[in-house]
Structure 1
Amino acid sequence: MRGRITDDSATPRAGRRDYWGVVLDAPDAAMLARFYTELLGWQVHQEEPDFVSIAAPDGVAYLAVQTAAGYQRPTWPTTSGSPQMMMHLDFEVSDLGAAVAHAVELGATVADHQPQQRVRVLLDPAGHPFCLYLGG
């Protein structure tokens, strides 16, 4: 991408400037960020009243959540006249049952519609669909 710094592999993670991420809208940024922090085992990277970013302990990817006034939960699967899912997160797991149970324990719900055998669609506490899937 033009204008983007390229990693030279010698710069320590904290000094890198090639981070990239995804930002989700939510009715409460802190609440949803806590959910993903606990689900993924990531750490809070930046926290402001209406914006929280979390990051993996390695790499340069982050997930951020921003409070959005008037937020409406997306529907899964998409139905006419309802807010539709614009994107979703995928997480590869080695034990689908354990990963689903952990997500539910943290506040996720299993979606009624499950389109694939090796994938489970869940809804985070703000209603965003995300997938846990078996790799390989």
Structure 2
Amino acid sequence: MDQESAGRADETRDRWQRKDWWGVVLDAPDVDELAQFYSKLRGWPIWKQDENDAALDLGEGVAYLAIQRNPDYVRPVWPAQPGSQQMMLHLDFEVTDLEGETARAVALGAELPDHQPQDDVRVLLDPAGHPFCLYT
């Protein structure tokens, strides 16, 4: 079976039975705080969680967002500054109401930095300091 056929076969199986899951894992000093933040921000249920790890179920497909405890985690600096911890990645979320969703994210615990590079994008920092973007 070629790769394309295998991919179509995977799509027809129950997603929980699939073996091609992938995800993004964020380090944080407090797993629960960050898991709760993204669960509330995106409406994703927490699929499993303990004091060291959490995984959020994005609801469809085979992608997930996970958080792992790292007691030595160092917050990145935004905007980037030479000699400071750099962000390793950032998450992008499309929204229909940029100002409303920005205000909601801040109410949930995000920070809104002064530096905003684009009018149709808001760079925010989650409770652990990871930059993420809301955009229209």
TM-score for the superposition, normalised by structure 1? 0.91
Residues 1:111 and 2:120 aligned together: no
Give the unaligned 5+ runs of structure 1.
none
CA separation in 1, counterparts of 2:8 and 2:97?
Answer: 33
CA distance in 2, matches of 1:17, 1:6: 11
Q: Give the alignment's Cα RMSD to 1 decimal.
A: 1.4
Distance change in 2, residues 1:7/1:36 (3 Å): farther
- Which residue of structure 1 aligns with residue 13 of structure 2? 11
Percent identical across equivalent pairs? 53
Aligned length: 131
In 2, distance between residues paired with 1:7 and 1:28? 38
Instruction: Call closer, same or farther: CA 1:78–1:32 in 2, change over 3 Å.
Output: same
Q: Runs of at least 4 residues of structure 1 off by over 2 A?
A: none
Which structure dedicates a bigger proportion of its chain to helix? 2
Gaps of 5+ in 2: none
Q: Hey, what's the Cα distance between the residues in 2 that align with 1:98 and 1:58?
A: 25
What is the TM-score when the length of structure 2 is the normalising length? 0.91
- After superposition, the C-alpha distances for 1:62-118 in whole angstroms (9 at most, x for unaligned) are 100011021111000111121111110000011101110110110001111100110
Partner of 1:101: 103
